[in-house]
Amino acid sequence: MRGFEEIDHTADRAFRVYGRDMAALLENAARAMQALDGPRPLAEPSATREIEVEGVDRETLLVNWLNEILYLEQAHRLVCTGFQIYEVQDHHMRARVETCEGGRSLTHIKAVTFHNLQLRETSEGLEAELVVDV
């Protein structure tokens, strides 16, 4: 199963992400968002952060997760280099995020949106389409 692919969008950037389960979908979505944002500096992770995210449903959980990653990168000037989802339910998740110092905000993405958001079950697992504001 492929992890993600960019899809056409008129004004912003969009991607489709896949996962055999919700944890894999969340991890692949984080990787997809970073791939859309361009190359990252190659550095060894210097810290691991524990993140907890809540959402009223799976779609909100997905958007909140990605926006939390953007917050870490923009507010704390970090580069997120690895993701491990170790607990996930429809309304709550916990993850470890490996980070390194970025020196400045590297992201060009302003926010992950609910515009055209779709999350559906497929024969291979889950699939979601997301749009990010750039």
Q: For 36-80, what is each residue's pLDDT tens digit?
A: 876 666 677 789 999 999 999 999 999 999 999 999 988 888 888
CA dihedral 123, 95, 97, 38 (to 10 degrees): 30
Q: How many angstroms separate the CA atoms of 46 and 44, rounded? A: 6
Residue 105 has pLDDT above 60, yes or no: no
Extract the runs of DSSP E, i.e. beta strands, from 1-134.
4-7, 13-19, 47-54, 78-88, 92-101, 111-112, 118-122, 125-133
Which pair of structure tokens corresponds to residue 78?
A: 């970090």
Bridge partners (DSSP) of residue 17 are 4, 128
Residue 10 has pLDDT above 80, yes or no: no
CATH topology for the 4-133 domain: Archease, Possible Chaperone; Chain: A; domain 1 (3.55.10)
Which pair of structure tokens corresponds to residue 127?
A: 């699939």
Predicted TM-score (pTM) of this structure: 0.88
| 12 band by pLDDT with thresholds 50, 70 and 90 | confident
Higher pLDDT, 13 or 95: 95
Average pLDDT on 97-107 reads: 73
